[in-house]
Structure 1
Amino acid sequence: MAERSIPVVTRATALDTGTAQSGDCVRHSGVSPQHTPATKIWFGRVSNEPGHRSPPHHHGECETGGYVLKGHGRIYYGEGYKEFVDLYEGDFVFVPPFMPHVEVNMSVTDELVWLTCRTPDNIVVNFDDIPDSELQGYRRA
Structure 2
Amino acid sequence: MSDLRHDLAPIRVTADELTVETNQSAGATRIAAIHRGMGADRIWLGKVLNDPAYRSVPHHHAGAETGGYVLKGKARIYFGEGYREYYDLDEGDFVQVPPWMPHIECNRSKDAELVWLTARTPDNLVVNLPDVDLPASAYAS
- Scaled by the length of structure 1, what TM-score is found? 0.91
The equivalent of 1:22 in structure 2 is 25
Distance across 2 between alignment mates of 1:102 and 1:136: 15
Measure how far apart 1:8 and its partner are.
1.2
The residue number in structure 2 matching 1:112 is 114
One-letter code of the match for 1:27?
R
* Structure 1: unaligned runs, 5 residues or longer: none
Percent identity reads 50
Residues 15-67 of structure 1: CA deviation (Å, up to 9, x unaligned): 11111000021000110002x11000000011101011110000000110011
1:84 aligns with 2:86: yes
Q: Which amino acid in the other structure matches residue 84 of structure 1?
A: Y
Note if contact 1:32-1:41 (Cα within 8 Å) is conserved in structure 2.
yes
1:59 aligned onto 2:61: yes
TM-score normalised to the size of structure 2? 0.91
The residue type equivalent to 2:45 in the other structure is F
Deviation at 1:114, TM superposition (A): 0.9
Matched, 1:33 2:41: no
**Which whole-Å CA distance do the structure 2 matches of 1:9 and 1:94 have between them?**
26
Amino acid at match of 2:74: H
The Cα shift of 1:136 comes to 7.1
Partner amino acid, structure 1, of 2:121: T
Moved over 3 A (4+): none
Quick one: which amino acid aligns to residue 32 of structure 1?
Answer: H
- The answer for unaligned runs of 5 or more in structure 2 is none
Q: Check conservation: 1:82, 1:136, Cα contact below 8 A.
A: no
Which amino acid is the alignment partner of residue 61 of structure 2?
Answer: H
In the alignment, the residues of structure 1 paired with residue 97 and residue 65 of structure 2 have an alpha-carbon distance, to the nearest angstrom, of 6
RMSD after superposition: 1.8
The corresponding residue for 2:139 is: 138
User: Aligned AA for 1:16?
Assistant: T
Matching residue within 70, 74, 83 for 1:68: 70
